[in-house]
Chain A
Amino acid sequence: MTFWRRETREAELDEEVRTHLNMAAQTLTERGVAQKEAERAAKRDFGNVELTKEVTRDAWGGRWLQDLISDARYGLRMLSKNPGFTAIAVLTLALGIGSNSAVFSLIDALLLRSLDVPAPRELVRITFGPPGIDGPLSSPMFDRLRERQRVFTDIFAWTNGPMVLSNKGVARPITGAYATGSAFPTLKLKPRLGRLLTWQDDEPSALSNGVAAVISEDFWLEHFGGDPGVLGQPITVDGGTATIVGVMPGSFNGITVDYSPQVVLPFIFDVALHGKSSCRFRSDCTWFSAMARLEPGVTFAQAQADLAAIAGDVLKELLTEGYQRIDYLRNGTLSLIPGRTGNSPLGKVYGRELWTLQTLVGLLMIICCANLASLQLSRTLNRQHELVVRSALGAGRLRLVRQLVVESMLLSASGAAAGMLLSQWMSGLLVRYVEQSDFPVFLDLRPNLTILAAVIALAALTVILTGALPALNLTRLETEEMLRSGAQRAVGRKRHPLAARLLPGQVALSLVLTSLALLFAVSTGRLLRVDPGFRVKGITFFGVDFERRPEKGEARLDLYRKMLDGLRRAPGVEAASVVAVRPLGEGGIDESAAPVEGHGPEDKHLFENVVGPEYFTTAGTKILAGREISKFDRFGAIPVCVLNQAAANFFFPQQSPIGKHIRSTEPNPKRPSCEVVGVVTDAKYLSLRESAPPTIYYPYEQLPDFRWAGFITRSHHTSAAIAAFKDALRRYAPDTPFLPPMTMQRQLEDSIGKERLVAVLSLFFGGLALLLTSIGLYGLESQRVERRTPEIGLRMALGAQKSDMLWFVLREATFVFLIGLPLGLLLTFAACRFVGSLLYEMSPLDPRIHLIAVLSLVGAGLLASYVPARRAVKVDPMAALRYE
């Protein structure tokens, strides 16, 4: 039955029935009955006209749709009649669904989503490293492996790295990647335009014919305006030139989930740039992130076995003596891990934290559902009278339940819609937290089918919990009894069991969330207050890219000196120096050394930094003994070095290290030995969480093959330092790109990004849980007060004190807390076992934290009880009794 034809049919049915009545009446008048009498008799014979019509309409079919529409209309009217309830319910749902979907979309993007290539499950990653490290391979390793393996259709390697694009004298940083020629054929990708890289592009012959490059679709659209004429155009990257031969499909964002390369070049391009010293030929240079596609029919386990069989040979032949990092290479093994989702360094860093957050928002969702259920339930209770009347007027139980379910569906649909909007906004915020370092993190957070399905499932769950359950509970009404008891709404005398049962659970879960939130927050606060051993305020780092400057050797050192002078003279800059390794940055330099005098112990795990004159003054690291590196520590002067306290204590326990000598025990030492001229306080090196490792500082001007270091400045305003650096760059090294600077503050915050993420979000979720539980409690109590106003009035009339009435209200809350709190504490202590390792130097069982959590929960409960309690106390006995 088409819907719009229905009205015509209604009219026709009316006429049909009218004709019937007319004809019957006419027959009677022809027999001599009076007109009026005849009409009455005809009607009597016909029976119930409206009922006949209704049953006839049933015969048309499509009735359910009709009913659904009228249910929906009625539902909308009921919801808009009660805007407070509707707003709270939709907001609760939106918050629950929104936070779940936001966290889940991040998990999906970082950990779950497949690479957008054909048959991604066949992909595997081949990694190298000592146990626990899934690192890249060296090029010779990769070549040897590619010759030997028999279980993959092919293997390929990929290396991400920032690059500098030069165009008409303007340099700008871009995201780039190197790939072996086998990469695109193995990934089975089809080009968006032109062609993708092939093996021929990565052969040495490509060097003479010009190296090929492919670009991403986004880069093509943004940089070349989507011009198909881009094919064949030259592109200058990192000082070398390649020819664009194709555009990658837009759905492919590289093999690393958080890094989307704009330009992909064959590895031969690195040979073109660096010649014989390219990493392409070096066994000690592990930079090939290797992936492979399993041969059809080969299982993961078979491939693993095959790899293990040939790994020994592949590695053995390559490890000759004399390499730096020989320990790393010797201890390394090849291993196979699934590659469906590609490589996800961020996912590795954030994985545990994200799943922790997902668990927290999952708990929050349960609280949301419980809240909705009690809200909905108390509303249905208040509507009991309406339901009874409707049932008396002929509505079946199924019909009533359906009405309530339709209303919950309306609610959850609008809640889900609002939640999706909220989730978009929240995941944007999440990415900003996850983002660190100079390059923006690339994350594709489009809501995909998985997320949509998860959200819809959550919404459906809510519908069942909030709509059907209370409805079933309620329609067990006995109509007659209810009607007899009249309009006094004395129906729900007994405490409705569901809400009372749900609330203690809500309290328990809220306690878990609050306690965990406090734990994470306090732990992160501690981390932020740790003394890192250097200044945080006012420090700015500037990276430079002098590789393609003409100045080499002494001239390069001179360029650094001129830049430093320029910076120091600039207004607003208090101090400036040179530093190779940014504290708390991405990496460090390993060093192993031993003292020359006294045959002291050798430290194999020393960290090294290369700094300029006055570095310690600039960075605010205290000098404990001796002196700072000065500008006189140059090539030709006595080689000097500075130790931190940890290193000094290690090499020279209980004696002054000043004037003693340290020799490097690396295989090919850059400098045989140095004189210790100073000792500085321990400064954090790689992370705030780890205590400062033994560190040795060398002056950059005494390094024989000094190639690179960045600048560090101290200034009151960061903007002054940036202006000064831009000015110095323009003056002494024009045509060099200005790379985004990094403040120490940002660096520090980045380095504890995941701790902050967990702390901020869990505080947010904990707060929400408190709020929702308070709303639930408030709902329960105010409804109780409303329902029992006559009783309260009677008691007060009989002489009950205000304090008695207060207790009357609070009794409910006390009951809820007496069950909820112990349950919550139990759950919290169970949960604490899993979060201990996420915390910084504190016990997850710290009683103070849990006490505060309990107190804040009780406080919120009291606050929620305040309004209903006041209402109970203010009941006017006369008015209440008259109502009864």
Chain B
Amino acid sequence: MAEKKERYQNRIELLQGTLDLLVLQTLQWGPQHGYGISIAIRNHSGEILQVDTGSLYPALHRLEKQKLIKAEWKVSENKQRAKYYQLTAAGKKHLSRERSKWSQFSQAIAGVLNPEQT
């Protein structure tokens, strides 16, 4: 079990920046609960990105602690009480900054991987 836990932790670390970005991006369309976020990421990525709940919830709580998102208990359309997350002003700023970083990063990677195209 010890090893398993470590594996989870490694994965969080590996995906950390990326997952944060995905979560923030998802929340741009409006407040959403944890389950909704995981579904949204899966759907928007064409079922390619499977978000591990073991990483999602720590990421949500960490972003909340960093005050990039805030949470509120609301009743969902299915009349269930759920914790809804939404972007804060700081979160929005962070998102746009991270997005431009990410596009620079992916362009750079693409450049390296396909040198003949540049």
Residues of A within 8 A of B (CB): 12-13, 15-17, 19-20, 22-24, 26-27, 45-48, 51-56, 58-61, 392-394, 396
Contacts and interface: CB of A to CB of B under 8 A. Distances in A.
Contacts of A58: 58
Contact of B4 (A48, A59, A60, A392): A48
Interface residues of B, number: 28
A16 B5 contact: no
Nearest to A46: B53
A-B residue pairs, 5 tightest by C-beta: A59-B62, A59-B61, A23-B35, A394-B2, A56-B57
B57 A48 contact: no
Contacts of B4: 48, 51
B61 A51 contact: no
B17 interface: no
Interface in B79-97: 80-83
A744 B5 CA distance: 80
Nearest to B55: A55
B81 A61 contact: no
A47 B80 contact: no
Contacts of A13: 57
Contacts of B83: 12, 15-16, 19
A399 to B, nearest CB: 11
28 contacts: A15-B83, A16-B82, A17-B57, A19-B33, A19-B35, A19-B81, A23-B33, A23-B35, A27-B39, A46-B53, A47-B54, A51-B4, A51-B8, A51-B54, A52-B54, A52-B58, A55-B8, A56-B57, A56-B60, A56-B61, A59-B59, A59-B62, A59-B65, A60-B65, A392-B2, A394-B2, A394-B5, A396-B2
Interface string B1-19: 1101100110010000000
Contacts of A15: 81, 83
B1 A394 contact: yes
A4 to B, nearest CB: 18
Given A55-B54, A55-B58, A19 B65 contact: no
Contacts of A17: 57
Interface in B37-78: 39, 52-54, 57-62, 65, 76, 78
B14 to A, nearest CB: 14
Contact of B9 (A55, A60, A61, A392): A55
B58 A56 contact: yes
A471 B21 CA distance: 42
Nearest to A52: B54
A27 B36 CA distance: 11
Nearest to B9: A55
B31 interface: no
Contact of B53 (A47, A393, A396): A47
Nearest to B53: A46
> Main secondary structure on chain B at its contact with chain A?
helix
B7 to A, nearest CB: 10
B1 to A, nearest CB: 5
Which one of B61, B80, B82 has the highest number of Cβ atoms from chain A below 10 Å of its Cβ?
Answer: B61
Contacts of B57: 13, 16-17, 52-53, 55-56
Contacts of A56: 57-58, 60-61
Contacts of A392: 2
B35 A20 contact: yes
A59 B35 contact: no
Nearest to A47: B54
Interface of B: 1-2, 4-5, 8-9, 12, 33-36, 39, 52-54, 57-62, 65, 76, 78, 80-83
A55 B5 CA distance: 9
Nearest to B62: A59
Contact of A20 (B9, B53, B62): B53
B1 A393 contact: yes
Nearest to A479: B2
Contacts of B78: 23, 26
A15 B53 CA distance: 15
A24 B65 contact: no
Nearest to B52: A47
Given A52-B57, A55-B54, A61 B65 contact: yes
B8 A19 contact: no
A693 to B, nearest CB: 82
A19 B53 contact: no
A52 B62 contact: no
A709 to B, nearest CB: 87
A668 B59 CA distance: 102
Given A55-B12, A59-B61, A394-B5, A22 B54 contact: no
Nearest to A17: B57
Contacts of A52: 53-54, 57-58
A59 B34 CA distance: 16
A47 B5 CA distance: 12
Given A19-B80, A22-B80, A51 B5 contact: yes
A394 B8 CA distance: 14
Contacts of A27: 39
Contacts of A59: 58-59, 61-62, 65
B35 A24 contact: yes
A15 B75 CA distance: 13
A46 B5 CA distance: 15
A58 B57 CA distance: 11
A461 B52 CA distance: 47
Contacts of B65: 59-61
Given A59-B62, A394-B5, 18 more contacts: A13-B57, A16-B34, A16-B83, A19-B34, A20-B33, A22-B80, A23-B82, A46-B53, A47-B53, A48-B4, A48-B8, A52-B54, A52-B57, A52-B58, A56-B57, A393-B2, A394-B1, A394-B2
Nearest to B78: A26
A308 B2 CA distance: 78
A22 B57 CA distance: 16
A59 B35 CA distance: 19
A19 B82 contact: yes
A135 B8 CA distance: 79
A794 to B, nearest CB: 37
Contacts of B61: 56, 59-60
Contacts of B2: 392-394, 396
Contacts of A12: 83
Which of the listed residues B5, B8, B35, B82 has the most CB atoms from chain A within 10 Å of its own CB? B35
Contact of B80 (A23, A46, A48, A60): A23
Contacts of B12: 55
Nearest to A394: B2
Contacts of B81: 15, 19
A26 B82 CA distance: 14
A179 to B, nearest CB: 66
Contacts of A53: 57
B53 to A, nearest CB: 5
Contacts of B1: 393-394
Please indicate which of the listed interface residues B12, B33, B53 has the most CB atoms of chain A within 10 Å of its own CB: B53
A121 B22 CA distance: 67
A269 to B, nearest CB: 74
A428 B54 CA distance: 63
Contacts of B39: 27
A20 B5 contact: no
A396 B65 CA distance: 26
B51 to A, nearest CB: 11
A594 to B, nearest CB: 97
B16 to A, nearest CB: 11
Contacts of A54: 5
A26 to B, nearest CB: 7
Nearest to B12: A55
Contacts of B59: 59
Contacts of A51: 4-5, 8, 54
A297 to B, nearest CB: 57
Contacts of B5: 51, 54-55, 394
A735 to B, nearest CB: 84
A396 B61 CA distance: 24
B36 to A, nearest CB: 8
